[in-house]
A and B are shown apart, each in its own frame.
Chain A
Amino acid sequence: MDKPVDKHEARQDTSRTVLIGLYDDVHAAGRAVDGLEKHGIARDKISVNSSVPLPVGTFRAYTRPSRLPYFSALGAFAGLIAGFSLAAGTAMLYPIATGGKPIVSLPTVGVITYEFTMLGIILFTLVGVLYEMGLPRVKKPPYDPRVSDGCVGVLVTCETEQISFEIEGILREYGAATITRFAGG
């Protein structure tokens, strides 16, 4: 490869390109994804944007396992410890006798522990799902707003610009209405 003349040019050349092929319906998009795979594009370079969850069977399922249950379990554990130490621990820190009842009474500690366990699950699961979704995004992602009106976007991450033109051809072949390019995916 020749030495780049322009700095700007150089960045364009080495950075990846994301192509979005916009399809009218999910079946066309499905055929496009299959076609891309047939041309040897790895599935993890392809992703699909849609305004509803994709129907089962249209695409090969997104199989990356979710670690969400671990977040929930961690939240449950943290909540349990927090609730128990709040209810039982603070009573022992400053023992005050009331109504002839024990300073730490397990049934009442149980109520607080239960609520805090649930709160822990809820909060940790929220954090977990945002982490797993990659939200909130700081940078504007490659995205075509027409997706929200029912179009399906097929995104392909291309390592070089050269490949991107090849892929553009494939996307068009399967009936993409429009194709948008995003530099630096």
Chain B
Amino acid sequence: MASDSPFGSAARVNDDILRPVLQTTWRFYAVVALLGSVVLWGAFAVWYLLSTGIGVFGLNRPVYWALMIINFVFFVGLSHSGTLISAILRVTHAEWRRPITRGAEAMTVFTIMVAAAFPLIHLGRPWVFYYLIPYPDLRGLWPNFRSPLIWDFIAISTYLTGSIIYLYLPMIPDLAVIRDRSHGWRRYLYIALSLGWTGSEREWSRLSRVLGIMAVVIIPVAVSVHSIVSWDFAMTIVPVWHSTIFAPYFVVGAIYSGIALVITIMVLIRWVFNLQSYLQPRQFDNLGKLLFVMSVIWFYFWFADALTTWYGREPSEFAVLRYTILGPFAPLFWTMIVCNLVIPFWTMMFKQLRRNVLVMLVVSLLVNVGMYSERILIIVPALSRGRLPSAWGSYQPTWVEISITAAAFAGFSLLYVLFTKFFPVVSMWEVKEGMGERAEAGVKEPGTPPRKTVEGAEGAYG
């Protein structure tokens, strides 16, 4: 009886998943040192920027926004999929989500944190950023809520708050497990963080209830955040930016690049922490299918947008499209098409390739190369080719911008590495629950869904 009981292998799951949390190797310190030095270099670049002026960027008239805003849009886009995928999979009770949710939610939190830094760095006077916070100044003046930048500020704050809560709530039971296993100062940390969780029926039933509500609430928030980021552009009258399709186009692109990053992170976690028996080919197969679908949808939106511009030939808009596709941005344009459409389409179509972890790593990285190119192509050409040809210009990034960008990628990785050091990167209780359900349903082979799906297992007590 005890051998196929749902709790029989709980201790093994704890051992497997908590190993990176409770044991520290030299590799961890090496990675932290490497990433930390890139972040420090970026901090130096920011100091140089603040002390000299925003002119140390490659910005000019008319390209007033460039790499910092590109990074902002890119990182907000990455943030999209973590919480969104986790929420959608929870709402639909997708069985294969279990080992993915935690890592995806954490990815969201850290990408938004990095993204939120860019609008501040890019300000002309970052030291007065608090003018944007909604409170009245001495004369009783509030910020301008008609400005899409304020919508952005509020949407990002909401999404960050929601994502942190959505990451934290389902982590409480796992924090209690670490609390029971750790010693020293870390034990006090987990005593505080686990809030005294005991795993009573009352706690479990309320947890499943709140995850049901939060998952439903966070999906529309995620959609609104990237819509609002797109409206930063679409609300202007800049040719090509001023487009009704921008909000769904951005949302689709965001989900696309986010899924790619989830895959990248899953491959790395699997490899670094030896979690092969948790992150199985089945998970990559399903994520690969999502990637395939998103690549097609993404291209559909891009094509619908570009086709109307091309066919309409409105001179100021067509000038931008020409500059994007045929001008100096042509190599970037073809990078985008190849990385975002051709490669994912022709690889993710095949099951063997979707189940090959190395292929998934390469394709997911290439998708984000393509999505980064897409963000550049959305922002720079439109500004370079304004309505008055006398004010046309171009843009080249400087070492300062490139350093800050590199620091952003390193900073995100660093936050993630530190996260895996303090928190279980796979949701232990969800995995155990899934194993229990499979055992109940009499399925022996690991990794296959239970024959008898336990209807609404999470909401069973609600």
Contact = CB atoms under 8 A, between A and B. Distances in A.
- A–B touch (CB < 8 A): the answer is yes
Given A52-B429, A69-B213, A147-B198, A118 B460 contact: no
Contact of A68 (B139, B209, B436): B209
A152 to B, nearest CB: 7
Nearest to A140: B196
Interface in A128-150: 128-130, 132-138, 140-141, 143, 145, 147-150
Contacts of B144: 96, 98
Contact of A24 (B2, B173, B224): B2
A128 B206 CA distance: 10
A41 B2 CA distance: 27
Interface in B187-206: 195-206
A5 interface: no
Interface stretch (B48-56, B174-182, B251-259, B397-405): B174-182
Contact of A134 (B202, B204, B218): B202
B262 to A, nearest CB: 22
A56 to B, nearest CB: 5
Contacts of B150: 112
Of B10, B136, B200, B429, the most chain A CB neighbours within 10 A belong to B200
Interface in A2-56: 24-28, 47-56
B207 interface: yes
B374 interface: no
Contacts of B165: 122, 126
Given A135-B196, A149-B10, A62 B146 contact: no
Contacts of A112: 145, 150-151, 154
21 contacts: A25-B8, A51-B10, A51-B177, A51-B429, A52-B10, A55-B454, A61-B460, A69-B213, A93-B136, A94-B142, A96-B144, A101-B146, A109-B145, A114-B224, A118-B162, A118-B224, A119-B161, A133-B202, A135-B195, A148-B199, A149-B11
Given A114-B224, A122-B162, A150-B8, 18 more contacts: A24-B5, A28-B1, A47-B200, A48-B201, A51-B173, A52-B7, A56-B457, A66-B205, A87-B145, A94-B141, A94-B142, A105-B146, A109-B145, A115-B155, A116-B158, A122-B214, A148-B177, A148-B179
Interface of B: 1-2, 5-11, 14, 134, 136, 139-142, 144-146, 150-151, 154-155, 157-158, 161-162, 165, 169, 172-173, 176-177, 179-181, 195-210, 213-214, 217-218, 220-221, 224, 228, 429, 432-433, 436-437, 440, 454-455, 457-458, 460-462
